[in-house]
Amino acid sequence: MPMGMADVATVLFSRFLKFDPADPAWPDRDRFVLSAGHGSMLLYALLYLTGYEGVTLDELRAFRQWGSKTPGHPEYGHTPGVETTTGPLGQGIATAVGMALAERLLNARFGDDFVDHYTYVIAGDGCLMEGLSHEAISLAGHLRLNRLIVLFDDNEISIDGSTSLSCSDDQLVRFKASGWSASRIDGHDPEAIAEAIERARNSGRPSLIACRTVIGFGAPNRQGSEKAHGAPLGTEEVAMTRAALGWPFEPFEIPESVLKQWRKIGERGHAVRRDWIERTRSLNPVARSPFHDALNRYLPCGYAEAMTDIRDRFATDKPKIATRQASQLVIDAIAESLPNLLGGSADLTHSNLTRARTHQPVRADGFDGSYIHYGVREHAMGAAMNGIALHGGFIPYGGTFLTFADYSRPAIRLAALMGIRVIHVMTHDSIGLGEDGPTHQPVEHLASLRAIPNLLVFRPGDAIETAEAWDCALRAVTSPSVLCLSRQAVPTFGEGRDVINLVALGAYVVVEPEGGRDITLIATGSEVSIALEAAKLLAGESVRAAVVSAPCFDLFREQSREYRAKVLGSVPRIGIEAAVEGDWARWLGDSGEFVGMTGFGASAPAEVLYREFGITAEAVATAAMRRLARSKVAVIHS
């Protein structure tokens, strides 16, 4: 890829790309996404040649080695100039759709003087074979994201060999059918490349430029074959390639004149950036503040007040509503104070309750909206939200059912790896959704999402916790979040709830019995109210049960050992969650017991399912008595 696409990249960087290595985060730069992340050396070479600080020849020598700035696939936040982490094919192009969308949205708010850039992508056959690419190009075509230009490394080779082994798509026809401009050029002809890019920049639609290239270009015995994809060329073939390309220099030797020209290309953007800074200085203060807040990822000052108000209202009114409804109320309450909140849903708006009253839909002819109808494209929604967050200017959130988290999981994983603020609103979070049945009832999803490092998985138990979970997610600038919300109504629990955000602690004591605990009941989400009822039943048996709500395991894990010990207590514990056990054992210990699901759900009303699957206050009380009896036996034996 680095050899085959060198000509295309050279034309793009030398003649078109607006960038300044002196400030890789300059907001009005063009974005360049290497979707074919396995060709990372192409990007590293360009970053070195154009003068990005820290990307040195030594770093190129240390390619793929421990501690280097040149990992196997480009990693956002690790190497300056890398706009997004790529490697899982298809993610880059879909993320770029989000970037190109964010550019148009921000442009609609602040105008051409401040936001006016392109998003360029290099994608290979692999990216276009991935199903995700279809969702992404379909969305981009629908929204007519004309600042998105995809340079397709059309070399007809992937790892197994010729693409004809597995694919006979006519990509041009496919893209055109999705509302793109599409053309094919010789990817080794600089003028043809330049003309095609120029045309694409002036198109009213997103553009695909299929660049017919030769993989491993210049390597006499390897070019044009899958043998050029991954294996090193070897000393002999490298020598022959040097001869064939007329490149007489030693490894890592860049002739001064060549480097000079490249550095000049890198300097081209200096003045453009300085002009842009001057223009932003002249912005009137009323417009400057939201622009500044948006770009710096600040929560505007009105936000905290709006969030406190809605949380307090829940504390006073104690509504018995589904947490998805509580989430809707939170979104409505904060939307006006957070103009950069960008909502959306994968065609489940009325179920996810994700659209604020004030949110207008984003349309191809109306980028001033704040709500994206992503269509039934969960994966593209996840990736596009990553691109929006990476681009800057917005806090994206998007809804679907929790069970379809699997459809967007690869994008969620990348968000966690990159450490970016993306909020997934996943409703219908258990068998509590009822009649839709086991296809729609998540059972393993909480456990599997909790397994992703740096992903905050929230399962709030009532309206107050829902507001607090939203607050945590909005403040988590370096982590994506998933808000798992109930379809069914749950009571607001607790008297005189603390004014501090208790969800931020991950878990906390809701009920502490007088005179010490006999047992601790730990629950999440809709099961907290079951635990509270069970505690009452146990009190009737003279058993003192503490109740702990644990809306976010990830945040609880971060608390001090002392705090965790205080919350968990030293008596036996019962965990209650309408899902599979997953890593509950960590919190329950050897003497604990889990009350939850052991397999898939079924189609029936929620109350019937809870009863049939044994997730009831009575079942919890019985489990508690059983545990206590066992621990007494253990004490007698010891």
Cβ burial 462-493 (10 Å sphere, 16+ → b, else e)? bbbbbbbbbbbbbbbeebbbbbbbbbbbbbbb
- Active-site residue among 59, 378, 468, 577? 378
Of the pair 123, 338, the CB lying nearest ligand TPP is at 123
Q: Does 1 bind ligand TPP (CB under 6 A)?
A: yes
Check if the beta carbon of residue 400 is closer than 8 Å to that of residue 407: yes
Q: What is the dihedral of CA 96, 100, 105, 110, to 10 degrees?
A: 120
Is 191 an annotated catalytic residue? no
Of the pair 28, 237, the CB lying nearest ligand TPP is at 237
The runs of H, that is alpha helices, within 62-170 are 91-110, 125-129, 131-142
Q: Does 86 bind ligand TPP (CB under 6 A)?
A: no
SS (H, E, C) 543-559: CCEEEEECCCHHHHHCC
Query: Rounded to the nearest whole angstrom, what is the least distance from the CB of residue 241 to ligand TPP in the complex?
Result: 17
Of the pair 161, 361, the CB lying nearest ligand TPP is at 161
Q: Which stretch, 154-162, 353-361, 514-522, 567-575, contacts ligand TPP (CB under 6 A)?
A: 154-162
- Selected binder of ligand TPP within 40, 95, 155, 479 (CB under 6 A): 155
Query: Rounded to the nearest whole angstrom, what is the least distance from the CB of residue 610 to ligand TPP in the complex?
Result: 39
Q: Which stretch, 34-42, 305-313, 490-498, 585-593, contacts ligand TPP (CB under 6 A)?
A: 34-42
Q: Does 153 bind ligand TPP (CB under 6 A)?
A: yes
Of the pair 175, 401, the CB lying nearest ligand TPP is at 175
Q: Does 88 bind ligand TPP (CB under 6 A)?
A: yes
Kindly state the number of chain residues that form the binding site for ligand TPP, as judged by CB under 6 A: 18
- Selected binder of ligand TPP within 9, 82, 89, 214 (CB under 6 A): 89
Contacts to ligand TPP from residues 109-138, by CB under 6 A: 124-127
Q: Which residue has the tokens 């006519």?
A: 170
Query: Rounded to the nearest whole angstrom, what is the least distance from the CB of residue 2 to ligand TPP in the complex?
Result: 9
Q: Which stretch, 85-93, 181-189, 195-203, 484-492, contacts ligand TPP (CB under 6 A)?
A: 85-93
Indicate the DSSP class of residue 310: H
Rounded-to-integer distance, Cα 556 and Cα 585, Å: 15
Cα-based distances in Å from 117 to 105, 113, 134, 219, 316: 12, 10, 24, 36, 48
User: What stretch of H or E contains 611?
Assistant: helix 606-612
Tell me which residue has its CB nearest to ligand TPP. 124
Cα-based distances in Å from 284 to 114, 205, 280, 292: 13, 33, 9, 12
Rounded-to-integer distance, Cα 370 and Cα 290, Å: 15
Q: Does 38 bind ligand TPP (CB under 6 A)?
A: yes
User: What stretch of H or E contains 21?
Assistant: none
Q: Does 75 bind ligand TPP (CB under 6 A)?
A: no
Binding mask 504-533 for ligand TPP (x = CB under 6 A): ------------------------------
Rounded-to-integer distance, Cα 590 and Cα 299, Å: 43
Query: Rounded to the nearest whole angstrom, what is the least distance from the CB of residue 542 to ligand TPP in the complex?
Result: 58
Query: Rounded to the nearest whole angstrom, what is the least distance from the CB of residue 378 to ligand TPP in the complex?
Result: 16
Query: Rounded to the nearest whole angstrom, what is the least distance from the CB of residue 157 to ligand TPP in the complex?
Result: 5
Q: Which stretch, 83-91, 514-522, 525-533, 575-583, contacts ligand TPP (CB under 6 A)?
A: 83-91
Q: Which of 189, 225, 183, 227 is nearest to 207 (CA)?
A: 183
Of the pair 38, 428, the CB lying nearest ligand TPP is at 38
Q: Which of 246, 212, 169, 471 is nearest to 338 (CA)?
A: 471
Q: Is 116 exposed, middle or buried (0-12, 13-18, 19+ CB in 10 A)?
A: middle
Indicate the DSSP class of residue 16: I
Q: Which stretch, 84-92, 525-533, 538-546, 565-573, contacts ligand TPP (CB under 6 A)?
A: 84-92
Of the pair 165, 271, the CB lying nearest ligand TPP is at 165
Rounded-to-integer distance, Cα 210 and Cα 369, Å: 32
Q: Does 333 bind ligand TPP (CB under 6 A)?
A: no
Query: Rounded to the nearest whole angstrom, what is the least distance from the CB of residue 86 to ligand TPP in the complex?
Result: 9
Indicate the DSSP class of residue 64: T
Catalytic sites, residue numbers: 378
Binding interface with ligand TPP (CB under 6 A): 1, 36, 38-39, 87-89, 124-127, 153, 155, 157-159, 215, 229
